[in-house]
């Protein structure tokens, strides 16, 4: 039998090269600082560790003490479950989250290519869209959160719907719903329903309805367990869906024309904003070509009707702060980027058809101009040194003192590997276990007894701390400046004096904001 290896298509090779370059740029940015940025990644790290240790996403629920969010039950746990599985491959939480989060984003470009290829029936067009998504600043940050997984699942979901692989589409859409609620809502209302409206196929509706029904297998038991009030608290809702500017995540910012035209590195960590002048110009030229096509033919292909509908809806979502009711306008940028680029590259595609002998020069100019006006800003933004978030330091009223103690606490965590063997057990007395876990040490995740003890720390003695540490088989205990957020300074100093004089603990690494003690 004569086996022939099919020659790879040039477009997929180019997409793989683009994806590799994208991965390297994001990988460089993600590993450019030795911490997880902001707050969400730390919470996800604790959630993943809990799943890895307990082999379940279900957390113990005590109504009288439930007062905080964690990205496990009742919040959809898919992202943390995935990361928990990957964490068990090498046991390094910090590396797992940084590396695989960037890998997921990068794979999203390949998924996007195949979705666009199916929609536009053109590998060239799909490649141009993929280039645009890779370089437009508002499409994806290397920030670690569940939205990464939810967004990239949109591409195979639409691909499967368009290919009439309804079982695969249902699985992907169900996964979106049980990964991140805001993305699930935006996908359903702003992408799925318009797709259903344009395509008008009963099986699309059946697939979407099935995904919603399957997801209830998670949500109904969760609501029954937590009750509606604590369910909404765990989901991050104040009272159902967001209707106020402050809750929107963009703090009332009303994006103007210049926010779209000129991207800036002065942006939010989770969702960069901006498009770039060349893509803006390409977009308007595309609209001219589409209008001319419609004028001459009295119709538009369904894919462009769909692209225009997606664009209008997501654009209105992005500028939602101009309206009295909105839904997380700041998060709409990543969704807005998809139909915007789908339309913007039509002009480039058209020029390559009009001038076929200049196809490659036109594509090269498109890539260079897009990189110059969009991609380079995106590269700079994704390589900024983002801080580790607000969960460090005592929140001292004097900014200079607070910054000093904040930095001392960060340095203390970074110095753990110089003072304590990896894998050692450390009981955190001032904050959640997330930081200890991230840097490769053991702490019982979501231990109710430790949480209760921590909430009333200054009411306990050195002997109480020692007894609890022994009970939990802890080798070290840690107090940091964050204790001052919930404890009186005089009482905390009194407790530290008791610990020092008790001879139950030995000093390991101490600063004004970081006290690491060995349990004797």
| Residue ranges per structural domain of the chain | 109-382, 399-519
Average pLDDT of the chain to the nearest whole number: 91
pTM (predicted TM-score): 0.92
267-306 pLDDT, tens digit per residue, is 888 899 999 999 999 999 999 999 999 999 989 999 999 9
455-481 pLDDT, tens digit per residue, is 889 899 999 999 999 999 999 999 998
- Does the pLDDT of residue 243 top 80, yes or no? no
Q: What is the spatial distance between Cα 453 and Cα 253, in angstroms, rounded to a whole number?
A: 41
206-231 pLDDT, tens digit per residue, is 999 999 999 999 999 999 999 998 89
Q: What is the spatial distance between Cα 381 and Cα 221, in angstroms, rounded to a whole number?
A: 41
- Does the pLDDT of residue 175 top 60, yes or no? yes
Most confident of 98-107, 390-399, 430-439: 98-107
Task: Specify the range with the lowest mean pLDDT, choosing from 9-18, 180-189, 246-255, 338-347.
Answer: 246-255
Across 351-360, average pLDDT: 95
What's residue 398's pLDDT?
83
Question: % helix / strand / coil in the chain, to the nearest 5?
Answer: 65, 5, 30
Q: What is the spatial distance between Cα 301 and Cα 378, in angstroms, rounded to a whole number?
A: 32
Q: How confident is the model at residue 248 (pLDDT cuts 50, 70, 90)?
A: very low
Across 86-107, average pLDDT: 96
Burial of 498 (0-12, 13-18, 19+ CB in 10 A): middle
- Does the pLDDT of residue 245 top 50, yes or no? no
Q: How confident is the model at residue 325 (pLDDT cuts 50, 70, 90)?
A: confident
Q: Which residues pair with 519 in a beta bridge?
A: 505
- Does the pLDDT of residue 246 top 90, yes or no? no
Q: What is the spatial distance between Cα 76 and Cα 55, in angstroms, rounded to a whole number?
A: 16
What's residue 240's pLDDT?
38
Q: What is the spatial distance between Cα 389 and Cα 167, in angstroms, rounded to a whole number?
A: 41
Across 192-212, average pLDDT: 92
13-64 pLDDT, tens digit per residue, is 999 999 999 999 999 999 999 999 988 999 999 999 999 999 999 998 888 7
Q: Which residue has the tokens 């799943």?
A: 51
- Does the pLDDT of residue 69 top 80, yes or no? no
Q: How confident is the model at residue 7 (pLDDT cuts 50, 70, 90)?
A: low
């Amino acid at each position: 039998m004569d086996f022939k290896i099919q020659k790879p298509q040039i477009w997929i090779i180019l997409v793989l090269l683009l994806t590799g370059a994208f991965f390297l740029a994001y990988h460089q940015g993600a590993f450019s600082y030795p911490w997880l940025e902001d707050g969400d990644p730390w919470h996800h790290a604790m959630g993943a560790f809990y799943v890895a240790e307990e082999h379940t996403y279900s957390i113990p629920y005590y109504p009288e003490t439930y007062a905080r969010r964690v990205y496990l039950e009742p919040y959809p746990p898919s992202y943390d479950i995935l990361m928990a599985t990957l964490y068990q491959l090498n046991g390094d939480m910090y590396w797992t989250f940084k590396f695989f989060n960037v890998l997921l984003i990068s794979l999203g470009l390949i998924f996007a290519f195949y979705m666009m290829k199916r929609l536009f029936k053109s590998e060239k067009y799909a490649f141009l869209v993929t280039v645009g998504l890779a370089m437009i600043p508002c499409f994806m940050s290397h920030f670690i959160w569940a939205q990464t997984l939810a967004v990239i699942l949109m591409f195979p979901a639409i691909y499967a719907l368009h290919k009439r692989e309804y079982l695969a589409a249902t699985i992907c859409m169900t996964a979106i719903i049980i990964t991140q609620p805001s993305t699930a809502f935006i996908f359903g209302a702003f992408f799925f329903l318009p797709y259903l409206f344009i395509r008008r196929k009963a099986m699309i509706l059946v697939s979407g309805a099935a995904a919603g029904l399957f997801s209830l297998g998670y949500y109904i038991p969760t609501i029954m367990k937590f009750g509606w009030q604590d369910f909404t608290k765990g989901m991050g809702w104040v009272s159902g869906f967001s209707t106020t500017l402050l809750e929107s995540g963009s703090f009332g910012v009303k994006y103007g024309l210049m926010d779209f035209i000129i991207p800036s590195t002065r942006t939010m960590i989770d969702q960069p904003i901006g498009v770039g002048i060349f893509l803006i110009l390409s977009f308007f030229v595309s609209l001219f070509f589409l209008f001319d096509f419609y004028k001459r033919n009295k119709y538009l292909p369904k894919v462009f009707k769909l692209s225009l509908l997606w664009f209008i809806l997501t654009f209105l979502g992005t500028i939602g702060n101009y309206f009295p009711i909105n839904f997380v306008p700041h998060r709409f940028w990543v969704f807005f980027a998809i139909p915007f680029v789908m339309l913007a590259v039509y002009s480039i595609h058209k020029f390559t058809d009009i001038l076929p002998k200049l196809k490659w020069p036109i594509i090269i100019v498109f890539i260079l101009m897009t990189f110059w006006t969009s991609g380079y800003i995106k590269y700079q933004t994704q390589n900024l040194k983002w801080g580790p978030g607000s969960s460090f330091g005592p929140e001292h009223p004097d900014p200079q003192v607070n910054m000093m103690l904040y930095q001392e606490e960060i340095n203390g965590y970074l110095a753990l590997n110089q003072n304590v063997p990896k894998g050692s057990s450390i009981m955190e007395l001032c904050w959640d276990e997330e930081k200890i876990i991230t840097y490769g040490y053991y702490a019982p995740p979501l231990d109710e007894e430790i949480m209760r003890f921590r909430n009333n720390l200054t009411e306990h003695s050195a002997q109480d701390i020692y007894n609890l540490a022994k009970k939990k088989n802890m080798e070290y205990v840690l107090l940091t400046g964050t204790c001052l957020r919930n404890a009186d300074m005089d009482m905390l100093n009194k407790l530290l004096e008791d610990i020092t004089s008790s001879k139950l603990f030995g000093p390991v690494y101490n600063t004004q904001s970081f006290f690491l003690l060995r349990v004797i």
